[in-house]
Amino acid sequence: MNATNASKVIGFAGYSGVGKTTLLKQIIPLLSAKGLRVGLIKKTHHDIEIDKPGKDSYELRMAGFNPVMLSSSHRRAIITEHKLVRERSLSEELNYFDRTEVDLILVEGFKTEIFPKIELHRPSLGMPLLHLGDSSIIAVATDATLPIERSIPWFDINSPKPIADFMLDFLNDHGIY
């Protein structure tokens, strides 16, 4: 990923069940209220199926069309079958993301990749802190006070406004906002 792409992407990294989606649903309206047009890439480890058997688009895809675009006056979806089943990198997925209508792309997942991200951590889940081994983590949001040295900002995971304000400052410091 080049520096220009990295500067317009901020991720939320953490283990399953930590509350990434919950926090994102609270932060996106705060960023939108400041005039930012925000897109999202969400990583999943499941075999997703967004089309339904019996629908023309599904039947055409099963017949071999690849990719298939569904288009309406409200939205578009592009379904692309991967010939090789493997995890895709964030850079690969960003190549397919239409950036013409967004100022910022938030990313849920891709926690092992190097790009600016905010770690979400709940000690009650019993998982290790990610930022101790990942210098691309720019802040931590947690629901507990931990007795460790803090070299990056820490926030209350249950208070989205300070996190959104930090993100705006980060974007401003990098000439995006």
Q: Is residue 26 part of a domain?
A: yes
Tokens of 66: 């690849």
Report yes or no on 61 lying in a domain: no
Write down the pLDDT at residue 131: 93
Residue 59, in any domain of the structure? no
Residue 73, pLDDT score:
84
Considering the domain boundaries, does residue 100 fall inside one? yes
pTM for the structure as a whole: 0.84
Q: Which residues, 6 or more positions from 121, have their beta carbon under 8 angstroms from its beta carbon?
A: 14, 18, 127, 129, 130, 140, 141, 142, 157
pLDDT of residue 101: 85
Residue 106 lies in a domain: yes
Q: Is residue 110 part of a domain?
A: yes
Report the CATH number that the domain containing residue 119 is assigned in CATH: 3.40.50.300
The per-residue pLDDT for 6 is: 44
Per-residue confidence in pLDDT tens, the chain, 177 aa: 333 444 489 999 999 999 999 999 999 999 999 999 999 998 876 566 777 788 888 888 888 778 888 888 888 888 888 788 888 899 988 988 888 889 999 999 899 999 999 999 999 999 999 999 999 999 999 999 887 878 899 999 999 999 999 999 999 888 766
Q: Could you tell me the end-to-end alpha-carbon distance of the chain, in angstroms, rounded to an integer?
A: 20
In a domain, 127, yes or no: yes
**pLDDT recorded at residue 82:** 79
Say which residue the tokens 């820490």 belong to. Answer: 154
78 found inside a domain: no
Domain interval for residue 158: 3-48+87-173
Instruction: Write b or e for each residue in 54-80: b if 16 or more Cβ atoms lie within 10 A of its Cβ, otherwise e.
Output: eeebbeebeeeeeebebeeeeeeeebe
Nearest CA among 161, 141, 138, 160 for reference residue 151: 138
Phi then psi for residue 173, to 5 deg, are -60, -25
pLDDT value, residue 7: 46
Domains held by the chain: number = 1
Residue 148's contacts (CB-CB under 8 Å, 6 or more residues apart) are: 129
Question: What is the model's pLDDT at position 48?
Answer: 65
